[in-house]
C-alpha cells in the first residue's frame, strides 16, 4: 500500500525572533556514557531575544540536557533537549522548550568546539535545527501558545544563536 502525499504548496514562514543564549562557563558538563545514553548538560547563563513581535531576555537557570552520538562517518550527532524561560521587554514570562538536531562533520569538530574559533566557522558546514514550543499565561502573547516554529542554530563563542521563524 502506498500513501499519497498531499500538495499543500510551499511552507511559508515569517521571522519571529533571534535568541542569543549565553551558556555557563563550565558548559557542557559531560556526564559520560551510562547504560542508557551519553548525556551532557549545559546551563543557560542568560541571553537576549530580539525581534519585532518578541523581545526581551533569556533568564538564567534553564539548560540543555543533550545526548551525544557518532554516525558511521565519524560525524558528531547531538539530540538537543532545552528548557528555558524568556521574559519580554514588557514583563511577560514565556516558557520555551525545544528539541532538535545538531550534526557536526568530523573535519570541523575541533573548530566547532573551540569558542575562540567557532564564529569563523561557516554555519553551512554543520546542521543545527530546533523546534521551539512556547507556553505563556500572558494574554498579550497568547498567540505564541498556538504557534509552530522552527529555528536555525549557530554556535557562538559564548553559547548559541537561534534565528526563529513562525510557520504560517
Rounded to 5 degrees, what angle do the CA atoms 102, 159, 106 make? 40
Task: Tell me if 42 sits within 8 A of 23, measured CB to CB.
Answer: yes
**In which band, very low, low, confident or very high, does the pLDDT at 87 lie, cut at 50, 70 and 90?**
very high
pTM for this prediction: 0.92
Residue 70: all three cell numbers together: 557518532
How does pLDDT run across 155-166, given as a tens digit for each residue?
999 999 999 999
Instruction: Please tell me the predicted confidence (pLDDT) of residue 135.
Output: 98
Task: Examine the pLDDT at 2 and tell me if it is beyond 70.
Answer: no
Dump pLDDT digits (tens) for 18-67: 999 999 988 788 888 888 888 999 999 999 999 999 999 999 999 999 99
pLDDT at 7: 80
Question: Domains of the chain by range and CATH?
Answer: 13-167 (2.40.160.20)
- Taking alpha carbons only, the member of 85, 79, 49 closest to residue 65 is 79
Q: Determine the average pLDDT of the residues in 135-147.
A: 98
Nearest residue to 15 via CA among 53, 48, 49: 53
Write out pLDDT tens, residues 91-134.
999 999 999 999 999 999 999 999 999 999 999 999 999 999 99
**Strand stretches in 26-155, DSSP E:** 29-33, 38-50, 56-58, 63-70, 76-88, 93-104, 127-135, 149-155
Amino acid at each position: 500500500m502506498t500513501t499519497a502525499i498531499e500538495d499543500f504548496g510551499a511552507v511559508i514562514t515569517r521571522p519571529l525572533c533571534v535568541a542569543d543564549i549565553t551558556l555557563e562557563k563550565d558548559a557542557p558538563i559531560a556526564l559520560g556514557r551510562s547504560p542508557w545514553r551519553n548525556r551532557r548538560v549545559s546551563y543557560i547563563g542568560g541571553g537576549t531575544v530580539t525581534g519585532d513581535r518578541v523581545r526581551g531576555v533569556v533568564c538564567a537557570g534553564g539548560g540543555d540536557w543533550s545526548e551525544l552520538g557518532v554516525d558511521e562517518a565519524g560525524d558528531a550527532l547531538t539530540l538537543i533537549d532545552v528548557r528555558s524561560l524568556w521574559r519580554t521587554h514588557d514583563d511577560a514570562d514565556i516558557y520555551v522548550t525545544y528539541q532538535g538536531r545538531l550534526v557536526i562533520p568530523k573535519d570541523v569538530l575541533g573548530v566547532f568546539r573551540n569558542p575562540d574559533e567557532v564564529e569563523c566557522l561557516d554555519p553551512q558546514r554543520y546542521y543545527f535545527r530546533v523546534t521551539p514550543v512556547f507556553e505563556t499565561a500572558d494574554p498579550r502573547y497568547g498567540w505564541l501558545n498556538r504557534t509552530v516554529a522552527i529555528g536555525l542554530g549557530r554556535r557562538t563563542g559564548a553559547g548559541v544563536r537561534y534565528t526563529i521563524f513562525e510557520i504560517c
